Structure 1
Amino acid sequence: MKTRDITQIAVMVAVIIVLGYIPPIPIGLIPVPLVLQNMGIILASLLLGRKNGSYAVGLFVALAFVGFPVLSGGHGGAAVFVGPTAGYIYAWLVTPFLLGTLLRSHQHLAWEISATILIGVLFINLSGALWLSVTTHLALSKALLAGLVFLPGDLLKSGVAIALHRRLRLLDQFAAVEK
């Protein structure tokens, strides 16, 4: 692994952690708050691709698992991985691989938006709702319905992640031309 890869992975882990320090917004309907960390997961997937994005998210999740308070609201520890929000965290682990695979050979904006919505919004929210349903004994239909509250914010966060990705990619291309 190159020094540049290690640096980019470390920076993305730091970005995801910093996004967790923005206070979560409790919804009240379900024990899952609105958070910004999923934007960092999507951004890591877009910027680093499936391999390095998976390393970044995996390292972040490992830090949370061993007890570092890196999850939104200062949470961490193994107990989080069996609680009502764990489905989202498990989905985060595979998001870079899935999104990176879908975007591997496609650079078109429409494809990037579609793949990001499919994986970064729908897959994560569906996984979270399924886990929530199992752990809280909430009917799946109710968990899915309650999860709809996340869609507008998640679509906005995905849009921001795509815009940042495209802007940073342009800057990287510009820097390469300058060399």
Structure 2
Amino acid sequence: MIREKISLSIHEMTVVAMMVAIIAVLGAVPGIPLGFIPVPIVLQNMGIIIAGELLGPRLGTITVWLFVFLVVLGLPLLSGGRGGIMIVLGPTGGYIFAWLFVPLLIGLSLKCSWFYGMTQEITEFLIVWLWGVIFVEGVGAIWLANQLHTTFISALASNILFVFGDTIKALIAVTITRRLRHIKVVSFRR
């Protein structure tokens, strides 16, 4: 009985593998270093958001956990061809740690909003923005403050630039995902 709940169908494994590949491809785009903070601007967080929106809480979470597991094993899948446990434990670790929960939080929030009939694009954007941007930046700032031995407020202030860029990426992710759902590429909304 338990085995049935955690097993994946061939279709689900294929979808998860494809989403991991998409997140990895987004990592092929080099990060933009800012200089004043050891965390670059990257596109991969858009893939993490899309995993939660398109695949839902279960498959989206499996996708991101698998991706991070591969990074921990040393595969150079992060932006700039980085990988390994030391990268995950370094200054960017808080953002990566937050990624592990983003698909679950986005997927569950979307399911709740759809249950109550809230299917507008703005509702989906606000859910994505809350969990995919604000949550990630908050967890990342806590981790960064610890790594750099600075205050949380100072680390959070250094993340302000990321919020603007991540908001644009969230808008793009919502637009792409809604279009993919509209043409029924894949969707957990059943």
Residue 171, structure 1, aligned to residue 183, structure 2: yes
Q: CA deviation at 1:109?
A: 1.8
| Structure 2, gaps ≥5 residues long | 1-7, 186-190
Q: Quick one: distance in 2 between partners of 1:38 and 1:124? A: 9
From 94, 97, 102, the equivalent of 1:95 is: 102
Matches within 5 A, 1:80-91: 80-91=87-98
| Structure 1, gaps ≥5 residues long | 174-179
Q: Which residue of 1 aligns with 2:164?
A: 152
Residue 108, structure 1, aligned to residue 120, structure 2: yes
Aligned-partner residue type, residue 57 of structure 1: V
**After TM superposition, where is structure 1 displaced by more than 6 Å over at least 4 residues in a row?**
none
Aligned-partner residue type, residue 130 of structure 1: I
Q: Quick one: distance in 1 between partners of 2:93 and 2:173? A: 23
Q: Quick one: distance in 2 between partners of 1:151 and 1:136? A: 20
Q: CA deviation at 1:142?
A: 1.0
From the two aligned structures, give the one with the greater helix fraction: 1
Secondary structure in structure 2 of the residue aligned to 1:64: helix
From 64, 76, 82, the equivalent of 1:57 is: 64
Residue 69, structure 1, aligned to residue 81, structure 2: no
Residue 16, structure 1, aligned to residue 48, structure 2: no
Structure 1 residues 13-42: Cα deviation after superposition (integer angstroms, max 9, x where no partner): 000000001010001111000000000000
Q: Which residue of 2 aligns with 1:2?
A: 9
Secondary structure in structure 2 of the residue aligned to 1:172: coil
Residue 38, structure 1, aligned to residue 45, structure 2: yes
Between the two proteins, the alignment pairs up a number of residues equal to 173
Q: Which residue of 2 aligns with 1:134?
A: 146
Q: Quick one: distance in 2 between partners of 1:134 and 1:24? A: 22
Q: Which residue of 2 aligns with 1:177?
A: none
Q: CA deviation at 1:5?
A: 1.1
Secondary structure in structure 1 of the residue aligned to 2:183: helix
Computed over aligned residues only, the root mean square deviation of the Cα atoms, in angstroms, reads: 1.0
Taking only the aligned residue pairs, the percentage that are identical comes to 45
Q: Which residue of 2 aligns with 1:123?
A: 135
Q: Which residue of 2 aligns with 1:176?
A: none
Instruction: Tell me the TM-score normalized by structure 1.
Output: 0.94
